[in-house]
Amino acid sequence: MTAGAAMAGVDPVGLAQALIRRPSVTPRDEGVLGVLEAALGPLGFRCERMPFSEPGTPDVDNLYARIGTGGPHFCFAGHSDVVPVGDLNGWSIAPFAGEVHNGTLYGRGAADMKGAIAAFVAAAQRFLAARGAGFGGSISLLVTGDEEGPSINGTRKMLDLLAGRGEGFDACIVGEPTSESVLGDMAKIGRRGSMNVTIEVTGVQGHVGYPHLADNPIHALLRMLSALTAEPIDAGNAAFQPSSLQVTTIDVGNPATNVIPARARARFNIRFNDMHSSRTLDAWIRRTLDAAGGRYALAVEVSGESFLTPEGRLSAILVEAVQEVTGRRPALSTTGGTSDARFITRHAPVIDFGLVGRSMHKIDERAPVADILALSRIYEAILRRFFATGA
């Protein structure tokens, strides 16, 4: 890190604006990782692109940046890709302009999660300026361009590559927008698992006036769905809310009013807690469908298992840092959707913590400038505590 870089510092709001101005809708990069490299290189980070490909999925570029060679090793993980803007006419400010109005930064990715990435870079800069390159460990950023998409050519493969060359880390914060109402009111120490299931029921097509000569697959499908949703999967536990099965679509595609169709299909999603695994739920689904009766085929896609990071040193550091900056004690929760922490948990303790998420994925996504600045101070406080002498 040059003396000039240390003196000038990194403006987290300015960096967030520069990141937002790169329209990196999954899986496009549009130069956003280059903006990060330009900010991290002068601080002494060694930047490494990690592009991955897989048949049937888009090619994705990712960035791994690290300063230091020894332990302990603290990692910040995030994603530079964003979701599409939706109705462009609904935005009051152009979604990729990265403009500040009335103390608020607007733009796709402001909350989810370019604001958090910029906040961490600024936090790392200030920490390094205070402690110097010999701070006694390593700091890294693991930034993927494939979190909002299929999540195949991103974090998971980056972690596998690093593990394959013997490179690990001791703790990780993912900068997802976990705060609910005000900055610092919630962090996520775990996430429910998620599985998407498609049922296709086969019957016998026929005339509605001669039902004895047909076999209506819709009736069988309704029995199956009724059996699956008749009772709650569980009541939850001390760490997790109850598991939830939600039917998302029922499709027949029958344009006729006097024809019993040959097939009917439905899809549902299960968000499940740590009382189950995708394997045990798959077995439960099949038992339930078999008991309901009917000929069916099942397709199951699992995007992640549930996980929990037990309260310990990382959660204590996070809580202390949030209290120092905001005066609040964040709730340690497992609610909501999932994140790339589901991959990281196999490698190190991990917690999701970031900005208020009320506007993420919405029209006029935004984050208060004051929150971005405060989040950067929280991340800096986390680094100070993590690398405290004798810790």
CA distance 28 to 69: 31
- Whether residue 176 lies in the annotated active site: no
Nearest to 363 by CA among 110, 21, 186, 149: 110
Q: Which of 29, 61, 112, 147 is catalytic?
A: 147
Within 8 A by CB and 6+ apart from 233, the residues are 242, 243, 244, 245, 270, 272, 276, 281
Q: Which of 61, 81, 146, 340 is catalytic?
A: 81
Residue 243 has φ and ψ, to the nearest 5°, of -65, 150
- Whether residue 282 lies in the annotated active site: no
Q: How far is CA 186 from CA 144, 295, 309, 356, in A?
A: 24, 46, 15, 9
CA distance 22 to 42: 21
288 in helix, strand or coil? Answer: helix
Find out whether 88 and 23 touch, Cβ atoms under 8 Å.
no
One-letter amino acid at 143 equals V
CA distance 345 to 383: 20
Q: So which residues are the catalytic ones?
A: 81, 147
